[in-house]
Structure 1
Amino acid sequence: MEGVQGTIDEIGIPLASTTFVVVDLETTGGSPNAAEITEIGAVKVSGGEVLGEFGTLVRPSSPIPPFIAVLTGITDAMLADAPRVSAALPSFLEFARGSVLVAHNAPFDIGFLRAACDRIGIAWPSFQVLDTARLARRVLARDEAHDCKLSTLARLFRAGTTPNHRALADARATVDVLHGLLERLGNVGVHTVEELSLWQSTVTPAQRSKRHLAERIPAAPGVYIFSDGDGRTLYVGKSKNMRSRVRNYFTASETRTRMTEMIAVASSITGIECSTPLEAEVRELRLIAERKPRYNRRSRFPERGSWLKLTIEPFPRLSVVRKVSDDGAAYLGPFGSRRLAETAMTAVHEAIPIRQCTQRLSPNKPQSPCILAEMDRCGAPCSGNETMDEYAAHAEAVRAAFTADPGRIVQRILERIEALANRQRYEDAASHRDRLSTFIRTAIRCQRIGALAAVRQLVAARRLEVGGWEFHVIRHARLAAAGTSPPGADPRPYIDATVATAETVPAPPPPRAGGTAEEAECVLRWLETPGVRLVEVDGDWSFPVPSAAAYADIAAAGELDRSAAVPFGDRRGLRPSA
């Protein structure tokens, strides 16, 4: 088998060739917002050798407090001819450029450096920072070092310089501590800067012991799958860079309890490369729907969606159904739950006097009307008060609201909301507002997806920042194929080859898409991305005018009002933290 040399991004930056700048500061106090820097000391090292040193006193704008002078030995007289921080700091940043910053209790030193940059109007460079105190707490046992003070660690690692609260001397001592820690970490397989960053994070033993699982994941866009020892899928995710994303599960940045639990159970990770981020997003949805991983919370049961159907009868009515059939009926959906479908159905019933009874009616067999007829909520076609033609006008209004303009429903419910508000029946008005908002949002979604689902084939492309093109073949709102072309090449042959091998998607009954509604929404979001160009369209991609989208602001306002009326609806921020 022929070997393949990995890239630097894949194997990480070796510690032996990394340039570290170990920095230490002396200050007039403990807060970067109230105190100033009085001394900067730094040592540049690489491969265990000292490449250079930087040291300077810094003259603050106020006198040094007496206890600070006693601690550090730095007096106001020593700083009389020292440069201001506006001159000293740029020199230090130039000295440290392109290196990894190291400090003992790094938040203190880096906090002062960043604050000083803000004061003098200099942008803080994006340094990678390592903290020797934090690393020591991960590496050393309690019986080796009773604390992680610099003086304690300097004695443990037999540093050549004794810390004395002067910046350059303390930086030299920190260099020896850093080298001692790196020697310990090398024995446990830490050989790159990326691996060193993991060790300074607060992670559980399970996370740390399994971080090697991420090393075989390619650094490419795609889908990653966590599995347990029996091969059962635990979690499915996606990323533009799978290796980088998967590594985060083994660091302190992963704070979700269920993910920590999942890592403890997982025994393997599989990466599936995808041509484009959209393909990865769609494949993630399909895998979640197919395998239903226990640790994925959303998209697991797309088949549980509900639809609102206008039945095909002499006197049509509304019904909540699970599937869309090719029967010529009008459908609205999908709704996330039956409750939401019934909410939208109530909105229609409030605006249009379509019958709410469930029995089949015949114009030749009159029946006694129900109480809704007495309340003028129904024209009572069951008793013969409305003919089939008269009732058909109501059914056509519902069909138009589903497929085109729901203006009649919107106008009538808004009038009712205003009347209720004028009578100070605000809770009833809010209920009507929520029903209308649910109906409008679903109608917008249904019409958008239905318009794309009617297109037999659509091919679109977008130029990549690195050159070349990404393109997708979309059939009936389902992603049928994805591909890319290299920089400088004619994309047409690549597009033709991708179209020729694309998945065959049968035409679904309208307004349903060839895939799930979530997949269709992903495709629509990508098509609306700036820079996307249509290559070819087989069919009519059209949108009704006017449509439900004309009332999007009403739905948004209703959603905003509802969220504002429920204080502390999301209680995650109220959980106590350690």
Structure 2
Amino acid sequence: MQAIQSTFDDLGTPLAEVTFVVVDLESTGGSPADCGITEIGAVRVRGGEVLGEFQTLVNPAEPIPAFISVLTGITDAMVADAPRIESALPAFLEFARDSVLVAHNAGFDITFLKAAAARTGAAWPGFDVLDTLQLARHLVTRDEAPNHKLSSLARIFCARTTPDHRALHDARATVDVLHGLLERVGNLGVQTLEELGSYSSRVTPTQRRKAFLAEGLPHAPGVYLFKDRDGQVLYVGTSRDIRSRVRTYFTAAEQRSRMADMVRLAHVVHPVVCQTPLEAQVREVRLIDEHSPRFNRRSKNARRAVWVRLTHERFPRLSVVRTPPTDGSASIGPFRSRAVAQQAIDAVHEILPLRQCTKRLSGPSSACALLDIGRCGGPCVGQQDVEAYAAVVAECEAIFRGDARPGAERLQARLVELARQERFEDAATVRDRFVQLIRAAARAQRLAPLTAAPELVAARRHHEGGWELVCVRHGRLAGTAVSPRGADPMVHVATLRATAEVVAPEEGRLPALAEETELVLRWLEQPDVRIVDLEGVWSCPVGGAGRIRQELEPAIAAAAEVRGFDRDQVLAPTARGSALRRAG
């Protein structure tokens, strides 16, 4: 798909084309709940030119306090014949129509106007609002002015009108302050209303200068790759709208410090348009695994995942392995680290007397301390034969891929015993280890049927009509397609199956990364997904680890979560970071 920029509007609204209405109010006090407006002044400007002015006194229907009259010069006699707010507000709203409202300390003025609209039943248009005070805090240093009051800024920017607490005069002074501030942000690369809305001093000049990298990118779902001058991939991300997402890296919306370093090195952004969000997510995982970008944190250690399996010998034991078993042996995983895998192993040893020695047993040997404390049956010294030990192994296999309820009952008995001994910290440790075991077993039981299935085709309604179609082979996304609204989806299903990737399992190697299979599985488990065709069996045991996990998770809701292969979370930007906001 070729990205086409049809108009310059795609880049945002140039500031020279934005109509601003700079407004200032005078009131009888500081709270709109019990104070009224006494004057409204506003100036309508665009491209540096004044288009019109609006000024009216307002009868607040209450006495004006003496100190307010001294401050503003507005007296009760002046407003006696002035219109009430029921008439003044609609006139102002008509004057400000189709504009961006601007005010100094906008929270005060906008709060009064919205409160007046609510009292009079007038519809509030939901203007975008620009606060020159917030913008000045980013642009005017303490060396230039002791504070950011309107009077101080008016002197700095040589305002033609001196603010004197009369609404129109203050609005005129704010116009000159606005133009001075816009000139400063323009020198920093802020050229559009959208860029101004996300402006913050946290955004470096380098980030603003690199905003052109988003030009020409498609408004489509897919993956984007930031590359340096040598073509090295720095970062891989995914979005439902590539262009909109990439543009946020050059604004205050991006607050991760490492991303500023990434943008500084970036030379080009390469888009990969995908037909469906699932395809984009899977491509992201694969590209991160392929390139190991230095600025990505998630998924880079996918190849370092480990599994826990039962060894193949007369007296099996648990072992941590780096390659997923494909020979049908009982195993669980993947684990993100050996430390987490060891917790699962320790959980098994808490409830089952599996041997823990690592040597291969070929004959009588010396016993270890575990035999004396009843934590091992002693196959090493001949106290437990192969058949008796096999019964213990069968219980372990049941936890891994069958009925986990007996194991959970053993755990409950163990916890009761520790609690009776008032060993509460030990009980918590045992519980948390068992949770890691059950989580891994539940993941393995969910992934195993999908990995074993030669082919699964599923569909989900597309938001624009038609169907999203997915073909999965041995847990790997082999292909996706979208059937248009009104078309026969089975024709597209046939085409998808014929053109999908051929996936053949290899000995000792899964066809897909565990994270990819997990993404596919989550998509398939959505309630609106329909299975079109399945070659193989897709099921989970009724009493499996998934059921036990649902029972255990509430018990550790307050404990630290082990994230495993879950996605990282993106902090949302704080409201304080932007001078422009929506006044809805």
Q: State yes or no: 1:231 paired with 2:231.
A: yes
| Residue equivalent to 1:470 | 468
Distance across 2 between alignment mates of 1:123 and 1:452 = 55
Give the counterpart letter for 1:430 in structure 2: A
| Residue equivalent to 1:292 | 292
**Cα distance, 1:78–1:521 mapped onto 2, change above 3 Å:** farther
**Cα distance, 1:560–1:181 mapped onto 2, change above 3 Å:** closer
| Residue equivalent to 1:320 | 320
Map 1:182-201; keep pairs closer than 5 Å.
191-199=191-199
SS in 2 for 1:216: coil
Distance across 1 between alignment mates of 2:202 and 2:558 = 40
Give the Å deviation of 1:115: 6.0
Map 1:243-392; keep pairs closer than 5 Å.
243-362=243-362, 365-392=363-390
Quick check: 2:100–2:130 contact (8 Å CA) kept in 1?
yes
Give the Å deviation of 1:400: 1.1
Quick check: 1:101–1:129 contact (8 Å CA) kept in 2?
yes
Give % identity: 56
| Residue equivalent to 2:431 | 433
Deviates more, 1:313-322 or 1:487-496: 487-496
Distance across 2 between alignment mates of 1:351 and 1:490 = 55
Distance across 2 between alignment mates of 1:427 and 1:453 = 39
Q: State yes or no: 1:450 paired with 2:448.
A: yes
Q: State yes or no: 1:543 paired with 2:546.
A: no
SS in 2 for 1:562: coil
Give the Å deviation of 1:86: 7.2
Give the counterpart letter for 2:259 in structure 1: M
Map 1:133-172; keep pairs closer than 5 Å.
133=133, 150=150, 163-172=163-172
Distance across 1 between alignment mates of 2:515 and 2:424 = 35
Distance across 2 between alignment mates of 1:166 and 1:153 = 17
Deviates more, 1:44-53 or 1:68-77: 44-53
**Cα distance, 1:137–1:529 mapped onto 2, change above 3 Å:** same
Distance across 1 between alignment mates of 2:124 and 2:518 = 39
Q: State yes or no: 1:531 paired with 2:528.
A: yes
Quick check: 2:306–2:324 contact (8 Å CA) kept in 1?
no
For residue 518 of structure 1, the aligned residue among 503, 515, 521 is 515
Deviates more, 1:541-550 or 1:463-472: 463-472
Give the Å deviation of 1:80: 5.3
Give the Å deviation of 1:281: 1.5
Deviates more, 1:447-456 or 1:138-147: 138-147
**Cα distance, 1:495–1:81 mapped onto 2, change above 3 Å:** farther
Give the counterpart letter for 1:550 in structure 2: R
Give the Å deviation of 1:560: 2.1
TM-score (norm 1): 0.84
| 1:368-391 CA-partner distances (Å, limit 9, x unpaired) | 433322222222223332222221
Give the counterpart letter for 2:303 in structure 1: E
Deviates more, 1:495-504 or 1:23-32: 23-32
Give the counterpart letter for 2:364 in structure 1: P
| Residue equivalent to 1:241 | 241
Distance across 1 between alignment mates of 2:429 and 2:329 = 29
SS in 2 for 1:429: helix
Map 1:483-522; keep pairs closer than 5 Å.
483-507=481-505, 514-522=511-519
Give the Å deviation of 1:331: 0.9
| 1:163-198 CA-partner distances (Å, limit 9, x unpaired) | 443334433554465567667777887653224435
Distance across 2 between alignment mates of 1:3 and 1:476 = 34
Give the Å deviation of 1:88: 5.8
Q: State yes or no: 1:419 paired with 2:385.
A: no
SS in 2 for 1:308: strand
| 1:204-263 CA-partner distances (Å, limit 9, x unpaired) | 222222222222332222222222333322222211122222222222232222222222
Quick check: 1:131–1:200 contact (8 Å CA) kept in 2?
no
Quick check: 1:433–1:558 contact (8 Å CA) kept in 2?
no
Give the Å deviation of 1:90: 6.5
**Cα distance, 1:9–1:17 mapped onto 2, change above 3 Å:** closer
For residue 480 of structure 1, the aligned residue among 478, 481, 485 is 478
**Cα distance, 1:396–1:38 mapped onto 2, change above 3 Å:** farther
Distance across 1 between alignment mates of 2:372 and 2:256 = 56
Give the Å deviation of 1:518: 1.6
Map 1:13-28; keep pairs closer than 5 Å.
13-15=13-15, 17-28=17-28
Distance across 2 between alignment mates of 1:40 and 1:370 = 89
SS in 2 for 1:324: coil
Distance across 2 between alignment mates of 1:520 and 1:43 = 59
| Residue equivalent to 1:553 | 550
Give the Å deviation of 1:543: 1.4
Distance across 2 between alignment mates of 1:155 and 1:386 = 93
Give the Å deviation of 1:289: 1.6
Deviates more, 1:100-109 or 1:188-197: 188-197
Give the counterpart letter for 2:513 in structure 1: T
Quick check: 1:27–1:36 contact (8 Å CA) kept in 2?
yes
**Cα distance, 1:459–1:370 mapped onto 2, change above 3 Å:** same
Give the counterpart letter for 2:535 in structure 1: D
Deviates more, 1:394-403 or 1:233-242: 233-242
Quick check: 2:331–2:400 contact (8 Å CA) kept in 1?
yes
Give the counterpart letter for 2:437 in structure 1: F
| 1:295-320 CA-partner distances (Å, limit 9, x unpaired) | 22221011111111011212211111
Quick check: 1:476–1:508 contact (8 Å CA) kept in 2?
no
Give the Å deviation of 1:280: 1.6
Give the Å deviation of 1:470: 2.5
SS in 1 for 2:22: strand
**Cα distance, 1:532–1:206 mapped onto 2, change above 3 Å:** same
Give the counterpart letter for 1:477 in structure 2: G
Deviates more, 1:15-24 or 1:231-240: 15-24
**Cα distance, 1:70–1:102 mapped onto 2, change above 3 Å:** same
Quick check: 1:139–1:184 contact (8 Å CA) kept in 2?
yes
Distance across 2 between alignment mates of 1:88 and 1:60 = 11
Distance across 2 between alignment mates of 1:92 and 1:455 = 67
SS in 2 for 1:210: helix
Quick check: 1:161–1:173 contact (8 Å CA) kept in 2?
yes
Give the counterpart letter for 2:526 in structure 1: T
**Cα distance, 1:4–1:287 mapped onto 2, change above 3 Å:** closer
Gaps of 5+ in 2: 562-570, 578-584
For residue 396 of structure 1, the aligned residue among 394, 397, 400 is 394
SS in 2 for 1:41: strand
| Residue equivalent to 1:568 | none
Distance across 2 between alignment mates of 1:224 and 1:467 = 26
Distance across 2 between alignment mates of 1:455 and 1:117 = 62
Give the counterpart letter for 1:20 in structure 2: F
| Residue equivalent to 1:131 | 131
**Cα distance, 1:16–1:312 mapped onto 2, change above 3 Å:** same
Quick check: 2:210–2:250 contact (8 Å CA) kept in 1?
yes
Give the Å deviation of 1:66: 3.0
Give the Å deviation of 1:132: 4.1
SS in 1 for 2:319: strand
